[in-house]
Amino acid sequence: MDAVQRSSASFGTRPLDQCNSLARMSDSVIRHDWSCDEVTAIYNLPFMDLVFRAQTIHRTAFDPNKVQFSRLLSIKTGGCPEDCGYCSQSAHHDAGLQASKLMDPARVIEEAKAAAAAGATRYCMGAAWRSPKARDMAPVIEMVKGVKALGMETCMTLGMLTPEQAQQLADAGLDYYNHNIDTSERRYGSVVHTRTFGDRLETLQHVHDAGMKVCCGGILGMGEAPVDRAEMLRTLANLPEHPESVPINMLIPIEGTPLAAAEPIDAIAFVRTVALARILMPMSDVRLSAGRTAMTDEMQALCFLAGANSIFIGDTLLTATNPSEDKDHQLLQRLGMARTEARTFSTVV
């Protein structure tokens, strides 16, 4: 597969603590030339060796006892023209979800204030679009500016972007843009038919070129083979610059979608994938995203041990359930972990 060709960028927008960590790491750790055989071999290591390797790498860049909190809000729900087999918001599926209009920016900002009060340092906003229309950009930009004014990092996922739209969002101050590749290129056409794997990579290119940070990961438990999980992460790791944020989702089977009857992924296989993400992309935030309601506390603890350092908080993720904030705080307290404070990004390394 030909990866998207992107100009190499400096680490000038990374937090100062990550810049210092990067300086301590050997050049051999940060790589963009992984082979399929290498990545597969790491994924298949004895579990204890794999997790030990991932945790060792994790400690070079992050506090192992800190977790970053993000909050995700659906600013426009349902009616999406894409046919993603996992998604209840697709107009192609009969999942019983009623489409809504784009939320008023003032309401979004009020929701963000509540998220900040609950400890979230990053606010993510998602709209069920194939791509935003020109008329959508003004209210979306108002949301970005309003949330930024609260002192939070901002993230949006609005579907595919043109270079001009990406630049508009960057000029408004958007920190991250989420656009998952979902799975491997080999498996992608079995999950989505209304766009291509290359379309996803093209938007990542536009986001990167506009100067925003890339948030990109995938979904596990969609009937993929272990090699698909490895190849998905290899695609991201072999980009000229690693995504700054890598969400790892566990499929939430939703009645009425093509993947409603998908076989759940084995917990150990999920942790293996988290560990692989940490090893391949040492400086990236690796986030436990959708599916945590189906994870035991012990499974989540193993994911943190394997290098996950971010979670979504709040009772709802777009249209899916999420553990309560009380439950998350109780788990972190039991583990002796705490939330990460808001980070200051610097343009000087």
| Burial of 163: CB neighbours in 10 Å, binned 0-12, 13-18, 19+ | middle
Q: Is 124 a catalytic residue?
A: yes
Question: Catalytic residue among 14, 53, 71, 87, which?
Answer: 87
Question: Catalytic residue among 84, 122, 187, 234, which?
Answer: 84
Amino acid at 298: E
Question: Catalytic residue among 14, 71, 124, 272, which?
Answer: 124
Residue 283 contacts by C-beta under 8 Å, 6 or more apart in sequence?
11, 14, 18, 21, 22, 30, 61, 242, 244
Q: Is 334 a catalytic residue?
A: no
| Two tokens, residue 34 | 């992984």
Question: Catalytic residue among 53, 200, 215, 272, which?
Answer: 215
Nearest to 218 by CA among 170, 186, 194: 186
Q: Is 216 a catalytic residue?
A: no
Amino acid at 124: C
The sign one gets for the Cα dihedral 151, 181, 21, 313 is: positive
Amino acid at 324: S
Question: Catalytic residue among 200, 287, 292, 339, which?
Answer: 287
DSSP notation for 27-91? TTTS-S---HHHHHHHHTS-HHHHHHHHHHHHHHHS-TTEEEEEEEEEEE-S-BS---TT-TTBT
Tell me the three-class secondary structure of 123-164, residue by residue.
EEEEECCCCCCHHHHHHHHHHHHHHHCCCCEEEEECCCCCHH
Question: Catalytic residue among 53, 80, 122, 303, which?
Answer: 80
Q: Is 303 a catalytic residue?
A: no
Q: What is the 8-class DSSP label of residue 294?
A: G
Instruction: Determine the Cα–Cα distance for residues 309 and 108; give it in Å rounded to an integer.
Output: 26
Question: Catalytic residue among 122, 155, 187, 303, which?
Answer: 155
Q: Is 80 a catalytic residue?
A: yes
Instruction: Determine the Cα–Cα distance for residues 86 and 259; give it in Å rounded to an integer.
Output: 6
- Supply the residues annotated as catalytic: 80, 84, 87, 124, 155, 215, 287
